[in-house]
Homo-oligomer: A and B are copies of this chain.
């Protein structure tokens, strides 16, 4: 009987995890969390965290039903319930008050200040608590949150669309379109899961991108890094579309009022950051990431161009790489995917290929920084599994 019981816990936790994934990209600075309530081996309720300030997943699941239904049930929750007052009251109180008999938890809170405290409170209230069910999967969906909590910086994904010979634009500077429609569509879906997109001023100027996701209501911040060598026109889409208030221009110098006035009128913000490390992007990247972390960003997508990508790579700031490789050559004078840096073979930043997908005519190579020990990979499938066939 015991092994069946265990299997059932995993079954319900998997369900809670798949519900949690609804929240990816929406919950920052909170992690995505899912919960299901089971009584007599039947699902009676479920909930997920829909955004900061809104009720937590457990609360959503519990409050859907009258108290008498919930009493004595088992709560499955992907992350340890909170025990402190934030924007909402502690979930542990509600669980105890509602007389839930048993709580099954995917993983502990990665924040060392809170970790284990919620579990202790529940156990002291004589609730049967089981921890680390589907532990690895539960950890995976909060990797960006965990990084933010532990380092103050968001999880950073570098996305590039490049030719087989490593070029992101032809020798005239055109990059439309290197990759196929399906790849670009997938990128829009990936943007849905992040809180901010970073591009260089040159890319903003050359490509005039919108950087929008497929989500109708929620768009990521759009960060443009402005070095002094980039002339930037104020008519770009980023500064004028209906999401202009989500655009942030980051510069290392005070811009003349004539320019800032034009931009800020539509809502674009301007951040002035130092460039202590004389970075070719014009901005010190670590402080930028910390500032984005303070703004509540959990996951940042760096979309190039080559200079921005090169600086992030050189400073070791990338957590995951997405290379959309198109089956074309652009030749030696095409724009470099990684610019401004050179490495000898023995000293090169080494990656680890996690997965390869066929995306129509392109391939998508997912990689992470090489580590001597085991690779814990941020679950790319969360975003990709509906769209891609394995290569």
Chain A residues within 8 Å of B, Cβ to Cβ: 162-167, 170-172, 174-178, 306, 310, 313, 323, 325, 327-334, 336-345, 348-353, 355-356, 358, 361-363, 365, 367, 370, 390-391
Contacts and interface: CB of A to CB of B under 8 A. Distances in A.
Tally of this chain's copies:
2
A310 B338 contact: no
A328 B310 contact: no
A330 B353 contact: no
Given A327-B367, A328-B351, A361-B352, A345 B174 contact: yes
Nearest to A367: B327
Contact of A338 (B165, B177, B178): B165
Given A164-B166, A166-B163, A342-B171, A330 B356 contact: no
Given A332-B338, A356-B391, A390-B390, 19 more contacts: A164-B365, A165-B166, A165-B336, A165-B337, A170-B343, A175-B345, A178-B345, A306-B332, A313-B329, A327-B350, A327-B370, A328-B343, A328-B345, A329-B338, A329-B349, A331-B338, A331-B343, A355-B391, A363-B365
Contacts of A331: 310, 338, 341-343
Nearest to A329: B338
26 contacts: A162-B166, A163-B166, A164-B323, A164-B351, A164-B367, A165-B336, A166-B166, A166-B337, A172-B344, A174-B345, A177-B345, A178-B345, A325-B365, A327-B353, A328-B345, A328-B350, A328-B351, A329-B338, A329-B348, A330-B342, A331-B341, A332-B340, A332-B341, A333-B342, A355-B391, A390-B391
A202 to B, nearest CB: 14
A341 B341 CA distance: 23
B310 A330 contact: no
B176 A345 contact: yes
Contacts of A334: 342
A346 to B, nearest CB: 8
User: Can you list the 7 inter-chain pairs with the closest CB atoms, starting with the nearest?
Assistant: A166-B166, A331-B342, A327-B351, A165-B166, A356-B391, A328-B348, A332-B336
A190 to B, nearest CB: 19
